[in-house]
Amino acid sequence: MSANQYFNENPAALTHERELKLRLFEMEFRFFANNGLFSCNKVDDASIILMENIPPLTGTLLDLGCGYGPIGIVMGRRDPVLLTMSDINSIALEYAARNAALNGVDATCIHSDGFEHLPFMYNNIILNPPIHAGKDVMYRLFTGAAEHLVPGGALYIVIYKKHGAESTINALKEIFDKCHTLYKKKGIYVLQCTT
């Protein structure tokens, strides 16, 4: 595994910081990112589609594998949630905390490999799965999410058909009580899984 993978704890090659801008839900957002972080040149299309298709949220929200924080920060400004952001990548988490402050969003940032340091229960968990980390890692995160949702809570994920959406849906149906497709277009699925 390369030391530069964004899902590593301490990625190398943080050599070029850049500022990203995003307009979503009639709000303007600014993020700083760097080489070695996922989607460091712009907020990726799948994350944007995920955010656009998540219904209004209340209660607690975990942005799992938050990277530099765009999903949690956008949802944290859009909805009245108590936001936690976590990532295995300590540098990404530093950027997430910085970007939350930059965008006026209160967030608790926790360094964690999956749910290792997250002994809490949540109303909502959002995940853009780390596809390149492999299915074992992804499915461990799905199972952990099911174990860390309050009754009636929901996991929201985005996945491409080419990255195994159909097998992922089958796995999620084994883990959760319900798995509902919120969006399906051009090979991209947004899923809501409830306990």
> What digits encode the pLDDT tens for the residues 43-71?
999 999 999 999 999 999 999 999 999 99
| Adjacency order of strands within the sheet including 178-185 | 107-111, 81-87, 59-64, 122-127, 149-160, 188-194, 178-185
* CA atoms of 97 and 103, how far apart (whole Å): 10
> What digits encode the pLDDT tens for the residues 109-124?
999 999 999 999 999 9
Q: Are 187 and 161 in contact (CB under 8 A)?
A: yes
pTM summary value = 0.91
